[in-house]
Every structure is written in structure tokens, then in C-alpha cells.
Chains A and B, each alone.
Chain A
Amino acid sequence: MANRSGAAQRPNGTQGKICQFKLVLLGESAVGKSSLVLRFVKGQFHEYQESTIGAAFLTQTVCLDDTTVKFEIWDTAGQERYHSLAPMYYRGAQAAIVVYDITNQDTFGRAKTWVKELQRQASPTIVIALAGNKQDLANKRMVEFEEAQTYADENGLLFMETSAKTALNVNDIFLAIAKKLPKYDQNQGQSGQGQGRRLAEGDQGAKTPGNCCK
């Protein structure tokens, strides 16, 4: 797996912080959202990716100095196609990548709408990155780099042109997001999410007899 970001190499020798963040992907259908994630998480690219990948979300870890950043990456699962993305999708998201296709001007327009939607629906502190995907098809370019860069600057977004196919800037964009996110240590009991309880298999809860009558 070529593009694994590698495990922690910590200069100071002590265990660093571990932060977990929910990152959501947004953008018009077929701009390459799933492909970007697959490239980032698995180092793979498939020309004819089916639109669904059947995973709730994928996770991938990147390391920054003394911090391990674990991304929980949510894909739209097609719910964006007929304007049916549930509010749950944005819930607790600390980062978002809004993707458009540089060969399709309409998708850039839609990306702007998604940014607005995020500003309306998501947490006010969410870190948003704009990704102009399919950079490998630059000869068919319909969206100019400068145009997107200007828009990103005006709206305080991170911006990169990416290619899931050639892996250009894929790790970089996630790394850039990781750098911009505030770091709370999960080991200290503060994880990225809303601080609720996650239910899991085999979780029978506290073993203390004090809690049950029997």
C-alpha cells in the first residue's frame, strides 16, 4: 500500500496526542469523491469505480510532529444526488473536502453551493478544503486554477488541484487539513466527536455489581 502515511515517528520520544476527526466529502456526483478517499486510504484507483463502496466510513491516520490525526471519512453514499443529504451527515464534522471536476464548470458552481450549505449547516469552526479533482485531465480543463484559488481565498478555504488517478496532492490535501485542525488529545478523554457514547458489539457495559439489582 504505497500511500499509507506511515506510522508515527516522534522526535521527542514521548507518546504524542491522538486526535480523531470526522471529515465529510461533498460535491456533485461523479467528480471523484470516493476515488479521492480510496486513493488516500487504500492507495488504490479504479477507472470504473462503482458509485457505492458499502462502507459506513473509512478511517486513515496521518502524523504531524507529535500528534496522530485519525480521520473518520464519510462519503455521501449518493444521497447528494437528489438533494437528500441528511443533517446527520454534517453532525460533528470538523473538516470537509468539497470536490469539483476541473473539466466541468457546473461542478464548480455546485461546489460553491456546497460551501454555502456547510456554512449554514455545519459547525462554524469546520475546516473546509476545496479540491479541483481530475487534474490529470488538465488539457480538458474548464475551470481555471486562478479562478478557484481566488474563490478559496475569499472564503477562507484550503485549495488544491488533485488527481485521484495520479495521486497528485491527495495526501497533501488531507495533511493540510490535519495541520489546520485544532488538536485535542483523545487520550485525555476528549475526542473529536460530540462526546457521546458509541455502542459496539460485545459492549455489555460496566461490570460493577453495584449497578444492577440482581
Chain B
Amino acid sequence: MHGRLKVRTTEEQRLLKEKENQKKLVAYKQGMAFILSTRKKDSYDPEAFAVSSQILHANPHIYTLWNYRKESILLEIENYKDKEEELVKFLEKELDFTEQCILSSPKCYSSWYHRYWVLKNHPVPNWEKEFKLCAKYLSVDDRNLHCWDYRRLILNKTGLCLEKELEFSTERLNANFSNYSSWHYRSTLRTLDVESLEKELNLVQSAVFTDPYDTSAWFYFRWILNHKEILEEKLQEVLESLKQLEELEPDCKCILMAKCWIMDTLYVKDEDQKDDINEFYQKLKQLDPLRKTRYEDAIKQKNS
């Protein structure tokens, strides 16, 4: 029966897949054996280099091969000593290659590191492109710590452009503020003065009002509150707005905690407020019985 429509069964598909995997295994073993045989020779072998590309593209986690590539690249750098143009071409190709590996496995240490290493050995590295690369990959997955680390590595190389990094950080937070990495990154950018503290407080208030149960924003909130430079009146204002928030969300312990932090700072010696704070801790004990003793401890300290 020719030309008859027949759909492959899942069993047939599984077998085809298995066969493919077997083929890949053989290919991988052959490839590795070949590369290792040339590695001893201490010279750049374009054939072996090409094979390593093929294997790494399929699996970038094989750090042996990345090391092999570094050796080969160093040899080539030596080779191209007086021919910068050709060297740049060669290294750019290597950069393109790492990006392909990053695309297929964005969470592979080796490919990110290799990229950085290539740039360090690059006579005219284009760091601007690297910032864009980070922004791109963080938009896809904002918890990719490899990428956050990479951005910091690049910053170390280029020096910080505060305005640009702040904008970048705001962009990341606007995309998703439930992200410790983004808040943390923001906290590493600068030391805050009175004015910027106020701005940051407004920003983080937006976050905790949007989602008072999100701990990452409170984390940053607390970090801001630890700054002694905040004006007392601003603290009062924040306290008032937290009271409003509490009315809307009476059962959220984070809000109570935050109130305690502020009141601790504001009323170190005010006996009247002490009772209030005690009361908050009592309420916290109820809301969060798991950390009961911790709150009791806080009460003790207050009253001692």
C-alpha cells in the first residue's frame, strides 16, 4: 500500500530516539578520543578545535574541552602576534561560539567564564555588547545567577556608570520585583544620601504595597532602614503609610515587623511607644508561632 497515511506509534518514536542517542554516544566518544590524541602535540589543530565546537555545542558542561580550547587559543594568540586584525576575527568567532553555547544552556558556568576569559585576552574588547547580552539573558530568566555574576565581572572591568546601572536595575524590578538578585544588585551600586534614600523608600513602598507578602522587597526595605541618614520625618511618613497598609492587610507579619523596625529606630527611649512595640511582638507571636521565641527574645531586650 503506497502513499498510505500512517502515523508512527510512540513505541516506534521511542526506538528512533534511542537509536539516535546511541549514535550520539558513539560520536561523543570518538570525538573526545580524537581531541585528546591531538592535545598532546602542543599545537593548534583546527580539525580537533572544530570537533570540540561540535561537542560543546551539544553539551557545554565539559570543562575539559573548554580548557583545551583555552590552550589552543593561547597558541593562536601567539601565532597572530603581529596580525591584530586576524586575531580579532578569530576571537570574535570564539565569542559568537560561546553565545551559541549560552543560548542552548544559559546556566552553564563554563561557557560564561570562557566568554569572559576570551574578552580578557581580546585586544579590543567591546564591553558595551556584553552589557546588552546580560540585559537580554536576564530578561529571559531574571534568576540566572550566572548572568548576574557575569554583569558584575564586566562592571569590574569597565568601571561603574551609575546612571546606567540604576536604570537597568529599575527595569529589572519593573519586570519582576520578586527577585532577591535584582534588589541585591541595586543595593551594591552606591552609598545612599538623604535624597536617594527617600527615593528608594518610595520605590520599595510601591513593592510592598503591591505585594506585602513578598519577602524580597521587605529585605531591601530593611536594608534601607538601616541607614542612619534617613530623616525622622520621612520615617514618620513611612510609618503612617504602613499603618494604612496594615488596615488593609491585618494579618501580614511582614508589615508588623517593618513597623517594629521603624519604631525601634524612632523611639529608642520613648517609654510610651514601648507598649505599642510590645503589643506588635505579641501579635507577631500569634501570627508566626514558628518564630515565637525569637519575638519573645525581642520583647525581653526591649524591656531590659
Do A and B have CB atoms closer than 8 angstroms in the complex? yes
Binding site for B on A (CB under 8 A): 10, 12-15, 46-50, 52-54, 187, 208-211
Chain B residues closer than 8 Å to A14, beta-carbon distance: 50, 53, 93-94, 96-97
**B103 in contact (CB, < 8 A):** yes
Interface bits B165-184 vs A (CB < 8 Å: 1, else 0): 00000000001111100000
Binds A, one of B1-9, B122-130, B226-234, B238-246: B1-9
**B50, A10: Cβ atoms under 8 Å?**
yes
Q: Can you name the residue of chain B whose Cβ is closest to the Cβ of A50? A: B3
For the complex with contacts A13-B53, A14-B53, A46-B2, 5 further pairs of A-B residues with Cβ separation under 8 Å are A13-B49, A14-B50, A15-B57, A53-B5, A208-B175
> Are A13 and B50 CB-contacts (below 8 A) given A48-B2, A54-B5?
yes
- A6 to B102 Cα, complex, angstroms: 26
Most chain A CB neighbours (cut-off 10 Å) among B46, B51, B96: B96
**A15, B5: Cβ atoms under 8 Å?**
no
**B3, A210: Cβ atoms under 8 Å?**
no
Interface of A is mostly: loop
**B176, A187: Cβ atoms under 8 Å?**
no
**B97, A53: Cβ atoms under 8 Å?**
no
**A15, B103: Cβ atoms under 8 Å?**
no
- A211 to B142 Cα, complex, angstroms: 12
Chain A residues closer than 8 Å to B50, beta-carbon distance: 10, 12-14
**B205 in contact (CB, < 8 A):** no
Interface bits B205-244 vs A (CB < 8 Å: 1, else 0): 0000000000000000000000000000000000000000
Most chain B CB neighbours (cut-off 10 Å) among A15, A208, A209: A15
**B100 in contact (CB, < 8 A):** yes
Chain A residues closer than 8 Å to B94, beta-carbon distance: 14
> Are A210 and B53 CB-contacts (below 8 A) given A15-B97, A187-B100?
no
Q: Can you name the residue of chain B whose Cβ is closest to the Cβ of A8? A: B54
Q: Can you name the residue of chain A whose Cβ is closest to the Cβ of B46? A: A13
- A47 to B3 Cα, complex, angstroms: 9
For the complex of A and B, 10 pairs with smallest distance between CB atoms: A210-B176, A13-B50, A46-B2, A50-B3, A54-B5, A49-B3, A14-B93, A13-B49, A46-B3, A15-B100
| A42: min CB distance to chain B, Å | 12
> Are A47 and B2 CB-contacts (below 8 A) given A10-B50, A13-B50?
yes
Chain B residues closer than 8 Å to A46, beta-carbon distance: 2-3
Chain B residues closer than 8 Å to A208, beta-carbon distance: 141-142, 175-176
Q: Can you name the residue of chain A whose Cβ is closest to the Cβ of B52? A: A13
| B280: min CB distance to chain A, Å | 29
- A64 to B176 Cα, complex, angstroms: 43
Chain A residues closer than 8 Å to B3, beta-carbon distance: 46, 48-50, 53
| B58: min CB distance to chain A, Å | 10
- A14 to B51 Cα, complex, angstroms: 9
Chain A residues closer than 8 Å to B178, beta-carbon distance: 209-210
- A148 to B141 Cα, complex, angstroms: 54
